Structure 1
Amino acid sequence: MGEFAFGLLGQLPNDRVEVDAFAISWRRRHQLSEQLPNCIGFIDKAMPARPLHAVWDRADVLRLERLIGPAYAVVHGSNFFVPPTKAVRFVTVHDLTPKHFPEMCMPTVLRYPSYIQRYVDEGVYIHTPTEFVKNELIEIFGASKDRVVAIHHGIPTDAYLDSESVSEEFISKLDNYAKGKKIVLAVGTIEPRKGLVGFLDAFDEIQRSRSDVVFVVAGSKGWGWQPFEAKMKSLSNPGSVLVLGWVSDAERKWLYRRSEVLIFPSLYEGFGLPVLEAMSHGLPVVHSDAGAVVEVAGGAGYKVVGRERSSWVLALERVLDDERVRDQLRSAGFERASGFTWAVAAEKMRKAYLSALDMHN
């Protein structure tokens, strides 16, 4: 969610739109102020999250104006929630994971569907990162088409690696581990929705017939990551999988350049940023057909239909072994990723704000 908020904020202000940011937090709000671009103002108001959400969960009382003042025409909540306010309200709904897979969500996330239904009923404008999520909101929650706007996220424009910002220790760790073998890469938090447990079955089958590949996972251990750990230990060669944990932006970019293929076997996605990041660095992508992944990939990746192990084995081996296929995916990926910029997203978001204001004036 941070990628979205900070990527958009840096491009939103222009001669017609001024932007201030605030955080519903008592102690951690200064973490936001330290990361904001210079073009963004910061509202330094201590707002205790738990008491306020306890009030707002019951009813739309205690409007935002009483906390930060009445100066704003539009208030946009960037992560499933926007406080009650007299201003025109926008809220970003990134996906409907808690609706489709409640068993894969933390308790706090399970509240999101009730928020969404309230916003739909109240006529709040809803931003989604894909047409896929927009259509889900219309079909499942009865949202009005003219109140939901689908605007793709962008990806960072500095797509070229600054090798000096990657430590020699990190590079040596990967080189010593891979030892010249082909790296199959996964990027993202390790959690059930990402489909990594099922992919390990396919990777294990590949490992039994060839010894020239290793699997590297760049992502933190998320909620429900234990089944992945158990499956990893049960592989015929557990040492062929390396979990790096969280990596920096520079390290992630280095991994994209060093790897042979990115796999993205997600069971459900509202967007799928690693797909585009990998493409922007010339890394072929093998992805699932779930959620919004197909829309985001736009035909520039190798799509695996269904979750069958044999399908993933076939797809991965073809990309690993066929240079012509890899070249086609690299070329298509570069072209696809080039269309996703935060400047384009910000321009579309400004138009959505101004259009909503025109309707309310």
Structure 2
Amino acid sequence: MKKVLIDLTQLPLQRTGVGIYAVNYVRRLQSMAGNRQLYFLVQDDDSELLAETRAIPAVVVLPLKAALFRRIAFRVLLEQLLIPAYALARGIDAVHSLHYSFPLLSFGRFKRIVTVCDMSFFLFPELHVPVKRKFFQFFIRHLPRADGLLFISASTKKDFHRYFPSSRVPEEIIPLGTDPARLASPPDPALLNGLRQRFAIDQYILYVGTIEPRKNILGLVKAFESIAARHPAVKLVIAGKLGWDYDTLLHYVQASPLRERIVLTGYINEAEKHALLKGALLFTYVSFYEGFGLPVLEGMAAGVATITSNLSSMPEVAGDGALQVDPHQPARIAEAIDGLLADPQARAALAARGLEQSRHFTWENMTSTSLAFYDQVVTPSAIVA
């Protein structure tokens, strides 16, 4: 029986990309783990992941004191000393780190598998907080020393090899997924109506994601301003937590003559996101760069006409199921929004194509591919149980 330790301690409580990936991976492991003995490291303040991991058969859950291990110094201590010591003591076959950083030493006794979510720390270093940038650049530089790499898109794998062309680490692509039944289902009417009243919205264009420069929200706002007069009943809803370097955007919105039609909701949970997606006229996600672009997939799976970027991984996710534009040209974003708002039939046709495209991406496929990769790395000739 293979023993795999999965480190979930890097995940913030407010779920965004990697957190959503982790939660859905754990949920699928409840029925797909097979004959593997799984060990999970979880922060003790993360009630959702504690409950989800404990639902897996033959599992060992190790809660850690969040008051300590959410601090960077203790994170390094955990990854570089405590995890290797535990893995050696328990005969762990592989340690899976879900977010770049990983144990640099294994003494040849256990395999180190790392999920690579994007390469923005190298491609766009100026779009990250300096301390965070230096921390993750350090570990990304050491990824060629790992024993297995999981990339969430072909685009991210290509970007990695652009910087590390000599890497010979075994690797696999694990496209992320959606929960199609949940996203396609009608929203909770009370919840959606409550959100409409709370934010004073009826007809609206939606963005969901962290508020940070890489997401190109300022370009989206400028595009909206240029077409707003032709669609006076429509608002722009920007839903997501504040990330970093957001002052320019907030000041711009505050000074905009359309500030009453630009709504910033703050962080929203999964139920609220589902409701807002189902109530939207359009979903827009015109980021400059993504490792995958999970919101694009979620927008399509919710049956909402979606506009996204023609850069990095987003064409890979969108296919012909979303309208792709150059994010560096707000005029092109505006044309796409204007055209779809003015043509309900085109909007419905795009939504239908998006729904079909989203069916190619499932959490079950991602999970089965990940588990097969564990076996391949631990025992190169292994066949999945």
Map 1:58-207 to 2 at 5 A: 62=81, 64-67=83-86, 69-83=89-103, 84-85=105-106, 86-106=109-129, 107-120=131-144, 122-142=145-165, 144=167, 147-157=170-180, 158-159=182-183, 160-163=185-188, 166=191, 169-174=194-199, 177-178=200-201, 180=202, 182-207=203-228
1:38 corresponds to which of 13, 35, 55? 55
Per-residue Cα deviation, 1:208-247 (whole angstroms, up to 9, x for no partner) = 3441311011111211111111111222221110111111
CA distance, structure 1, for counterparts of residue 267 and residue 325 of structure 2: 27
Could you tell me which residue of structure 1 aligns to residue 351 of structure 2?
A: 330
Secondary structure of the 1:267 match is: coil
Contact kept in structure 1, 2:299 and 2:306, CA below 8 Å: yes
Which residue identity does 1:76 align to in structure 2?
H
TM-score, scaled to structure 1: 0.89
Task: Give, in whole Å, the separation in 2 of the partners of 1:65 and 1:270.
Answer: 28
CA distance in 2, matches of 1:289, 1:200: 18
Alpha-carbon distance in structure 1 between the residues aligned to 2:63 and 2:256: 51
The 3 A distance-change label for structure 1 pair 110 and 2 is same
Describe the shift of the 1:167–1:255 C-alpha distance in structure 2 as closer, same or farther (beyond 3 A): closer
Q: CA deviation at 1:173?
A: 2.4
Is contact 1:186-1:262 (8 Å) kept? yes
Superposed, 1:237-316 pairs within 5 Å as 237-316=258-337
- The total of aligned residue pairs comes to 351
Distance 1:146 1:335, change over 3 A: farther
Alignment match of 1:230 (pick from 234, 247, 251):
251
Per-residue CA deviation, residues 255-294 of structure 1 (Å, 9 max, x unaligned), is 1111100111101100111111111111010111122111
Q: What are the superposed Cα offsets for residues 152-174 of structure 1, whole Å, 9 maximum, x if unpaired?
A: 11112422245167275324224
In 2, distance between residues paired with 1:110 and 1:161?
44
1:121-162 deviations in Å (ceiling 9; x for gaps)? x24311111000001111112253652211111112422245
Q: How far off its partner does 1:54 sit?
A: 4.7
One-letter identity of the residue aligned with 1:20: Y
| Alpha-carbon distance in structure 2 between the residues aligned to 1:118 and 1:360 | 26
Letter of the 2:311 counterpart: A
Distance verdict in 2 for CA 1:341–1:308, change over 3 Å: same
Cα distance change on mapping 1:277 and 1:134 into 2, 3 Å: same
Q: Answer yes or no: is the 8 Å Cα contact 1:282–1:330 preserved in 2.
A: yes
Amino acid of the structure 2 residue aligned with 1:139 = R
Query: Using the alignment, how far apart are the partners of 1:323 and 1:145 within structure 2?
Result: 50
Identity of matched residues, %: 21
Deviates more, 1:9-18 or 1:81-90: 9-18
Shift of 1:311: 0.9
Matched, 1:11 2:35: no
- 3-state SS of paired residue (1:10): helix
Structure 1 CA distance for aligned equivalents of residues 74 and 147 of structure 2: 20
TM-superposed deviation, 1:63: 6.2
Give the superposition deviation at 1:101: 1.9
Residue deviations 1:317-338, cap 9 Å, x none?
Answer: 1111122321221111111111
Q: 2:361 aligns with which of 331, 340, 357?
A: 340
8 Å CA contact 2:147–2:377 kept in 1: the answer is no
**TM-score, length of structure 2 as denominator length:** 0.83
Q: For residues 42 and 54 of structure 1, what CA distance do their matches in structure 2 show?
A: 20
Task: Give SS of 2:85's match.
Answer: helix
Paired residue type of 2:98:
S
Map of 2:19 onto structure 1: 2
8 Å CA contact 2:113, 2:146 repeated in 1: no
1: CA distance between counterparts of 2:284 and 2:228?
16
Residue type of the alignment partner of 1:10: R
Q: CA deviation at 1:30?
A: 6.5
Unpaired runs of at least 5, structure 1: none
